[in-house]
Structure 1
Amino acid sequence: MNRTYSNSARVAAAARAAHLIVDNEPRIFQDSLAEALLGDQAAELLGYHRQHGHQPILANARVQATVRARVTEDILADAVASGVDQYVLLGAGLDSFAYRSPLAPTVRVFEVDHPATQTAKRERLSAIGVDTTRVRYVPVDLEVETPTLRDRLLDAGLDPTRPAVVSWLGVTMYLTPNATGATLAQLATLAPGTQLVLDYILPAEQRDEAGKMYAELVSAHTAERGEPWLGFFTPDQMSALLATHGFRMVRDVGQREALDPAMWQRTDALRPAALARIGHAVLRAG
């Protein structure tokens, strides 16, 4: 397949970048590189947010992208403080952690993504003068090569005897439940104590009105662009799937409860919706 960035990766990066431009304090998450990574598409994508920042769909896109990034990097910071020094990003897309976070030099970062996506990203980073030498790039097409994921990570230098933090954001909704399970089976071969952070979309009956509206419009749009939503989980279903593969759910939160309540006392258009949840799980021994 010949491609560069997926539409979902561009939309998420634009949402993170627009949050710093459109929304008011308090900031949920600060991604200082997202706009630069979008390159010549930044003006168009950010223009939608600048002109229609109050529009519920765009506002919820910003909530989605910033809340999950904030939760993930908070979990990573806690793990690093306890001695973890390996960080794996599955479907890294335009994630910029490795190039802007003060935590980045303290961990070995492994970015897993489609080879074409990685090539485009590295070219863009080089063009803006960002050093990429500390990042381990792991080229894997997760659509067809999931069984090789562990081997590719080990080839890139991951130590399978020591825990890692694995982030898997903005992906499970594009996979069937079986495909999600296949990737979890690979992650289950990593060291006990490995932590996984992933997000997932709720089924229609568990969404509120804002979540239903977002899902209907956005899923139709992504399907037209070749990225249909295929996987939906209730919290119980996700917890059970993780348990099947040896992971214990530590925390499972929606947008509202993911942040301190003070973060939702806002004067902009950002409002939490019952749409997606973020799971934090730990791999058990044996």
Structure 2
Amino acid sequence: MSNLVVRSITGALFVAVILGSILLDDWYATAVFAAFMILGLVEFNKLFHSQRTIEIDWRIGTLGGIVIFTIAVLTLYQVLPIACYTLIVPVILIMMLTELWRKKKNPILNSTIQIAGIFYIVLPFFLVTEMNFHDHNFNDFKPTEGFFMPKVGGMFLLIWTNDTFAYLTGRLIGRTKLFERISPKKTWEGTLGGVVMTIFVGFLIGTYFDTNETLGFWIGAALIIVPCAILGDLYESLFKRSLKIKDSGSILPGHGGILDRFDAVFFSVPFFMAWASIYPYL
């Protein structure tokens, strides 16, 4: 079976799981995001578990991230009082203090990498969870006005569109290298294909789906997501190149690891959320 076929099957299942959970209920989506977050944390921390200059304990970074995500989500759902958000900082400090007893070289660098995992993986997954929670519980959707689609679902569609059509266009007509030093296979032609199709899908979402947002919002979102997705992809390529690895993992056949599949999401989510917050005031 060719790599493209394997990649397509895995991608279709991946889309079905995420989009299906988003459309069903916010609790289902939260569970799915939590599962991917845990897998991503394990993957990230294990990459640095036995490097020459970095020796982190992957269990500490993973457990700390899970505790922080759990506190944030339970506070979001009002299971815990809002004051519990303040517990997140002590958890991070405890993660840092564990280096006192580990007796490994470069303790400051080890702590920095573990905290970077919180910002790079846990924070984006929580922001996605928060947006989806508000979409399901506070937005006034009108199903008669179009197909129901929470904003988070639309965001994922834009990211996937850019990723898919940049890949396909690059394979078909890609010639001019985009950033050869970091990612030799990415081309300007592929990038342009992703841009055009992402804007087109933004138009479709804004026109035919009930997202509680305007067409202008989705065109703007497409224009924001495209560069964020590209830079997120390039950053993860830089990250892998510095570690001298091809993929961050192998859990997703044809795609690599969790970090390989969510690299564009990690960089797009904060900017998309900022756009969603600012747009009503424009």
Q: Normalized per residue, which structure has more strand?
A: 1
TM-score by length of 1: 0.30
Q: Normalized per residue, which structure has more helix?
A: 2
Larger radius of gyration: 2
TM-score by length of 2: 0.30
